[in-house]
Amino acid sequence: MPDRRDNERELESELQDLGSRVEHPPTPDLAGAVRSRIEAEEGARPARPRIRRPLSPALRGAAAAAMLVLLVSVPALSPEMRGAVTGWFEAGGGGSAESGAGGAPESGGAAPDVETERQAPGAGLGERVTLREASAGAEPPLLLPEGAPGEPEAVYEAGSGDEVTLVYRARRGLPELSDTGIGLIITETSGDLETAYLDGELRPEAGRARVRVDDDIGYWIPAGEGSLAGRAGGNVLLWERGGRALRMEADLPKQESVRLADSLR
C-alpha cells in the first residue's frame, strides 16, 4: 500500500515533468529598456549634467595652447610656462589639497594654505577644490590609488564636476615631468573613453598601443605622439573603469603605468 511519502514523491515527479512542459511567456528584452531608464535618470539630474566633452571650448583652447607650448619646449620649459605649471601647487601655498593633514611631500614643499589654494585655478584644469569636495556626491565615485602615491597634492574640478584632475608632486617612484615639479596627473571624467577622449578618432596610429588594465582595454600613448599626447610631456595611459574615462600622465614606462592604473579603486 503506497504511503503518503510515496504519493508525495510521485506527485513531485509529476510536477517536475510538468515543469519541463510548461509554456512560459516570451521574455522581453529588459536590458535595453533598463539601460535607457538608467541613462535617462542620470541625464536628468540637474545638479550634475552629463557633459559630453571633458572641457568647455574656452578651457580646451587654453589647455591646447598650454599643451602646444609644452610639446615645443620639452624637455626645458620656458620660465613663464614653468611658473604657470608650478602654480598648480604653489598659488597661495603647496602640498595636500585636504585641510593641512598629513606630512609634507618628499620634495619638501611648504605646508598648504588651504584657503588661498582654493581660489587658484590650474592651467586650464578648472577650479581648485579639496579632495573631499570633489568626492562628495561624485557619481560614479572617484577612483583613487590604493597605496602609493595616496592622496593628491592638488585637485581640480571642471565641467560641473564631471571632470576631476588629481595632481601629484614628483617624488621617488614618480619622476618629475619636464621640470614642472609634477610626478603624476590623473584625470577622471564621467562617461566612456570614446566620448571623453576618442570621439570617433580611434585609428591605428604608431605608438597608440592597446593595453589591458585589469579587465579593461586601455590605450598607451608615448610622450609626444599624436593629439592625445601628454600636456606635461609624459607618457599617457587611457582606460575606462567604474563608469569613468581615465587619463594618467607620468614619466613612467608602460608596465609601471599599467600597474599604477590597476591600483585605482
Partner 1 sequence: MERARRGDARAYGELVRAHQEAAFRTACLVSGDASDAEDAAQEAFVKAYRALGRFRAGAPFRPWLLSIVANEARNRRKAAGRRAGLALRVAAETSRGGENPGFSPPESAVVAAERREELLAALGGLGDADRIVISCRYFLGLSEAETAAAAGCARGTVKSRLSRAIGRLRERMREGESAG
Q: Compute the least distance from the CB of residue 52 to partner 1, in Å.
A: 16
Residues 1, 2, 3, 23: which binds partner 1 (CB under 8 A)?
23
Place of cell 571624467: 189
What is the amino acid identity at position 198?
Answer: L
Task: Please tell me whether residue 16 binds partner 1 under the rule CB under 8 A.
Answer: yes
* Residue 146 touches partner 1, criterion: CB under 8 A: no
Examine residue 31 and tell whether it contacts partner 1 (CB under 8 A). yes
Run of H or E residues at 213: strand 209-213
Amino acid present at 72: V
Cis peptide before 149 (omega within 30 of 0): yes
Within 182-221, which residues bind partner 1 (CB under 8 A)? 192, 215
Calculate helix-pair angle for 57-73, 79-90, nearest 10 degrees. Answer: 120
Pick 22 or 47: Cβ nearer partner 1:
22
C-alpha to C-alpha distance for 209 and 87, rounded to whole angstroms? 33
Which range, of 43-51, 172-180, 197-205, 237-245, touches partner 1 by CB under 8 A? 237-245
Residues 92-131, one symbol each (x = binds partner 1 by CB under 8 A, - = not), give ----------------------------------------
Which one of 26-34, 46-54, 171-179, 205-213 is the stretch in contact with partner 1 (CB under 8 A)? Answer: 26-34
In angstroms, rounded to a whole number, what is the distance separating the alpha carbons of residues 59 and 74?
22
Q: In a 10 Å sphere around its CB, with 0-12 CB exposed, 13-18 middle and 19+ buried, how is residue 180 labelled?
A: buried
Choose which of 35, 60, 132, 254 interacts with partner 1 (CB under 8 A).
35
Q: Which is nearer to partner 1, 132 or 265 (CB)?
A: 265
Beta bridge partners, 65, equal: none
Can residue 3 be called a binding residue for partner 1 (CB under 8 A)?
no
Q: Strand, helix or coil at 16?
A: helix
Q: Judged by CB under 8 A, does residue 1 bind partner 1?
A: no
DSSP helix/strand/coil, 26: coil
- Applying CB under 8 A, the residues found at the interface with partner 1 are 7-8, 11-12, 14-19, 21-25, 27-35, 37-39, 41, 139-141, 192, 215, 240-244
